[in-house]
Amino acid sequence: MLHRATWVAAGVLAVVAVGTTVGYWGYDQKQQKDAFVRAAQTQYESSFHHLVNDVRDMRTELAKSMLTQDHASFDTHLSDISRLCYAAEASLGRLPSDITPSSNLQVYLHRVDSQVQSWMKHDKTPGDKDVRQSLNTLYAQSGTFVSQLGQIQSQLGNQADAWATGAKSGQTVGFAADGLRRVDRQVASFADNPLPQAPKPTAGANQTLQKQPKITANQAIKSVAKVAGVSGTGWQAKLYRGGLPTAYFNVKGTVQNRHISAEVSQSGGHLLTYYDDRPVKSSKYDFATAATDATKWLKAQGYGPVQRINAMQYDHAAMFTFAPLVNGIPVIGQPISVHIALDNGHVVGFNAAQVYANPVGKVPNAKLTVAQLRKRLSPDFEVKMAKQVIVQDENRNYIPAAAFYGTMKQETYCIVLSAIDGAEVKIDHLT
């Protein structure tokens, strides 16, 4: 009897021991999971606090810029607005992206930032009527969401479940998440107000392409097959953006285990892109010869005159970038890429989509010469090369400009200045 009881007791003890161990393990796992969730929620709360503080301070700087008449102080306030918008955007980016998938608040902050940067760039003063009007609008608009965000912020420490994952939807819910959603929806009603919208890239393309004759899918396949040097039997072409002037055929085909992917415009039958995914295993072909070949190949495709503006090697392919010339002046912003396989010198990549997406229209006459613009550069910048170029300004209009290539502190930069008013269009740090 005692022997039997001992066995039963041992069994019970074993079950209890295993159960306790499993229970403790499960409890530990839950504790760890909860800790991760709390850590994530703490991060969200931190980001939200930063966001609210940044937009509140941004609004304060808007008010200061409206109050001052001193040009130097005005620029300082504009600079602070820009800085705070950037910081607020960064804070917003650290919150769950499913809360504000439409990103209206992000867009609003970005546009305010762009607007004040444009004012600084063009040396606007606090007395300018259009500036005052815009500042008034921005101040009124920001007041609405700053107030609402502040209300959510004040409740953050008092309520649980500010950020939680919805059981069914899998989306972030909770009073803070829901509140931010409401704010984002509200901002959508005035997100487009601060800035004039830049023209769509296809606006010029529409005018250029709609006059040209349309091609069929078979013609598109033939033109791609010709580039690949094969018949194109069994290849397929699918039309995208049908009915629009920018419609194009996506052509796909296989040649000896190589996949060819290309795009041909329906209007005019222009080859827009061409890619051959053949693996290139060695570099037997001369790079400089490849550069010459790329230029010749472009000419054979109907592109010319062009100027080579960049070159590099990657994965046994020579990658060249060309700029089309308009009246002998290179156009920056319409890059044409040609990739040459360095095992046999054949073209394995080509992209001229931007040439048709952003065609150059009428370019205004330059008011400043390259020599005059050169005087506006920093004395720390040693100019080694200068040339006339055509670039797109912040509103994506083509303007005449001068590109200065040179060095500062042994680093190479390219500074592009507008030949209209001398304003800086962009500065690129080159390697």
Partner 1 sequence: MVRRGFVFLRLFISVIALSVVIPTVHPTPVAAFTARNLMYGSQGYDVDELQSRLRLLGYYWGDIDGDFGWKTYWAVRTFQYNFGMKVTGEVDMATKLKLVKATPNWHYQGSRGGNSSASTTQSSSSSGGSTGGSTTSSTAAPAGASASFPASVNGLDQSDLNLMAHVVYGEARGESFEGEVAIAAVILNRLHSDKFPNTVPGIVYSPGAFSCVDDGQVNLTPDATAKKAVMEAVDGWDPTHGALFYFNPAKTSNAFMWSRPEIITIGNHIFTD
Residue numbers at the binding site for partner 1 (CB under 8 A)? 40, 44, 86, 89-90, 92-98, 101-103, 106-107, 110-111, 114, 170-172, 240, 250, 259, 261, 273, 275, 277, 282-289, 291, 310-316, 318-321, 335, 337, 339, 342, 349, 351, 353-354, 384-385, 407, 410, 412, 428-431
For residues 414 and 420, which CB has a smaller minimum distance to partner 1 in the complex?
414
Is 236:261 a contact under the CB 8 Å cutoff?
A: no
For residues 7 and 240, which CB has a smaller minimum distance to partner 1 in the complex?
240
For residues 109 and 149, which CB has a smaller minimum distance to partner 1 in the complex?
109
Rounded Cα distance between 396 and 334, Å, is 12
Q: CB 293 → partner 1: shortest distance, Å? A: 13
Q: CB 196 → partner 1: shortest distance, Å? A: 14
Rounded Cα distance between 339 and 318, Å, is 5
For residues 114 and 212, which CB has a smaller minimum distance to partner 1 in the complex?
114
Q: Which residues contact 231 (CB under 8 A, 6 or more apart)?
A: 225
Q: CB 319 → partner 1: shortest distance, Å? A: 6
For residues 64 and 252, which CB has a smaller minimum distance to partner 1 in the complex?
252
Q: CB 374 → partner 1: shortest distance, Å? A: 17
For residues 74 and 350, which CB has a smaller minimum distance to partner 1 in the complex?
350
Question: Treating both helix axes as pointing N-terminal to C-terminal, what angle do 175-188 and 129-155 enclose, rounded to 10 degrees?
Answer: 160
Is 273:262 a contact under the CB 8 Å cutoff?
A: yes
How would you classify residue 410: left for phi > 0, otherwise alpha for psi between -120 and 50, otherwise beta? left
Token pair listed for 168: 């069914």
For residues 67 and 430, which CB has a smaller minimum distance to partner 1 in the complex?
430
Q: Where are the alpha helices (DSSP H) in 249-389?
A: 287-300, 353-357, 370-374
Token pair listed for 88: 């607020």
Rounded Cα distance between 119 and 14, Å, is 78
Per the listing, tokens 């005087």 go with 375
Token pair listed for 192: 């487009």
Q: CB 235 → partner 1: shortest distance, Å? A: 15
Is 314:348 a contact under the CB 8 Å cutoff?
A: no
Which phi and psi angles does 365 have, rounded to 5°? Answer: -70, 145
SS3 403: strand
Token pair listed for 196: 């004039």
Q: What is the DSSP letter of 36?
A: H
Q: CB 80 → partner 1: shortest distance, Å? A: 18
Q: CB 32 → partner 1: shortest distance, Å? A: 15
Q: CB 81 → partner 1: shortest distance, Å? A: 16
For residues 173 and 368, which CB has a smaller minimum distance to partner 1 in the complex?
173
- Residues linked to residue 396 through DSSP beta bridges, in sequence order: none
For residues 125 and 310, which CB has a smaller minimum distance to partner 1 in the complex?
310
Is 356:265 a contact under the CB 8 Å cutoff?
A: yes
Q: CB 431 → partner 1: shortest distance, Å? A: 4
For residues 266 and 368, which CB has a smaller minimum distance to partner 1 in the complex?
266
Token pair listed for 137: 């609008």
Per the listing, tokens 């037997």 go with 284
Q: CB 20 → partner 1: shortest distance, Å? A: 32
SS3 112: helix
